[in-house]
Chains A and B, each alone.
Chain A
Amino acid sequence: MAAQAARLYASFSPEHLGAPATIFLGFRISSIPPTSQSALTNVSVWLPGEMGFATSGLGLENCRLNLLEARGMFGCPVNALMGRGIATAEIPFGGEIISESARIEVFSAPVREGRLALWVFADAHTPVGAEPIFPAAVVSAPPPYGEAIDAAIPLIPTLPGAPDVAVTRFHMALGTTARGPDHFVYYKSVRGRRVAYAPRGLILPPACPHGGFPFEAQFTFQDDTVATARTTVPCPRQTRRTRR
């Protein structure tokens, strides 16, 4: 059985305590031996305590699954978009391993089983054209974490008899960015006019935890193996100076 190893990356922008921030999350999965990658079937990312989606101002509308399936990302209200990113997968093709990247969009979904829910929409074109949609939920995580994003990833078949698509790299911004491909805006009505604005984003706690902001991710693979990865976002420099 192959062993899977995972690395987790996280950062904030801007790094101002008590203020809204965009969270950048990413992971990289490698296998030993390298050609024996097993498909990722579930990922759960635990966020630092005292950071809440409900106060983020993200996901003010919900995206309906039937519209997302029928019209892709254009089927969702703009105020349902919560983040964007890129996923890279390895696909076995004629004895070779080919990498394919897919654009990722995360939308707010109607509450499922009492939990804030998300749809993760992937838009891939070549060599495998697919638009998989997978459900995710915001769940509670034990201290020192607060909330977790738990996503079930569907198996994407390739050629008959060949292994399924295996996600090996993932990067996303939770919230909007000032510019670039991850930038997006929301709209609100002001005196009858539709006005664009940047959604708030997750609010950083007013104090930095000892040792920084902890993140953890648990990965489950098709071959039933599990990998765990942790990372810490250091406290902003301004805070360290203040505490001395």
Chain B
Amino acid sequence: MVRRVMSIPVARWGLALAAVAVLCTQSDGVLAARTARTERLSMTAHLRYLTAKGAYLLEEGSASGPLAGTVKAHVRITADISGSFEFYPHDGSISGYGSARLHESGTYVSFGGTVMITGGTGRYAHARGSGGLYGVYNRRTLGLTIQTTGSLSY
């Protein structure tokens, strides 16, 4: 009898815990959906030359816009421009790559192309996005100014 009375609440508690677990899982999903954000990728980065390996440049600087932070870029400038970057806004990092074609040469080489956001860390661990990439490369100082357009989800 005692054993039987005790077994009923245990079973009920088990059911209740299972239900809470299911609800928690669902509410996590709701929470994740609510916190997913999309930002405009309208940013301007001013990068200065750190070092070069042949056609590859390592550049570092700061970006301003909806998300601001420091940027490190590994850029290859040959017949066209391509490269990867790590962007460090508050609470994480965003990584991606871009490629562009040259528009004008001289001291200032202008270029235009596309940028892809492929991932990140921290708050931006699921970052994805794409957009346009425009910029100017100063052949005297080897510095870069880059503007991006498009959208970023994280």
A residues adjacent to B (C-beta < 8 A): 18, 49-55, 57, 59-62, 79, 108-111, 114-117, 137-140, 146-147, 188, 203-206
In the bound assembly, the distance between CA atoms of A137 and B105 in angstroms comes to 12
Q: Are B79 and A140 in contact (CB under 8 A)?
A: yes
In the bound assembly, the distance between CA atoms of A52 and B53 in angstroms comes to 9
CB of B6, distance to nearest CB on chain A (Å): 75
Q: Are B54 and A204 in contact (CB under 8 A)?
A: yes
- Residues of B in contact (CB 8 Å), total 23
Q: Are B55 and A147 in contact (CB under 8 A)?
A: yes
CB of A217, distance to nearest CB on chain B (Å): 17
A114 and B55 contact, Cβ closer than 8 Å, known pairs A57-B139, A146-B78: no
**Extra inter-chain contacts (8) besides given A62-B105, A108-B105, A115-B102, CB under 8 Å:** A50-B54, A53-B78, A59-B105, A60-B139, A111-B102, A146-B55, A146-B78, A206-B54
CB interface residues, B 90-114, toward A, < 8 Å: 101-107, 109
Determine which of A54, A61, A109 lies in contact with B137 in the assembled complex, contact meaning CB atoms within 8 Å.
Answer: A54
A111 and B139 contact, Cβ closer than 8 Å, known pairs A51-B54, A54-B109: no
Residues of B within 8 A of A140 (CB): 78-80
Determine which of B56, B109, B137, B142 lies in contact with A50 in the assembled complex, contact meaning CB atoms within 8 Å.
Answer: B56
B19 in contact (CB, < 8 A)? no
Determine which of A51, A61, A139, A147 lies in contact with B106 in the assembled complex, contact meaning CB atoms within 8 Å.
Answer: A61
Q: Which residue of B lies closest to A207 (CB)?
A: B53
A206 and B53 contact, Cβ closer than 8 Å, known pairs A54-B78, A57-B139, A140-B79: yes
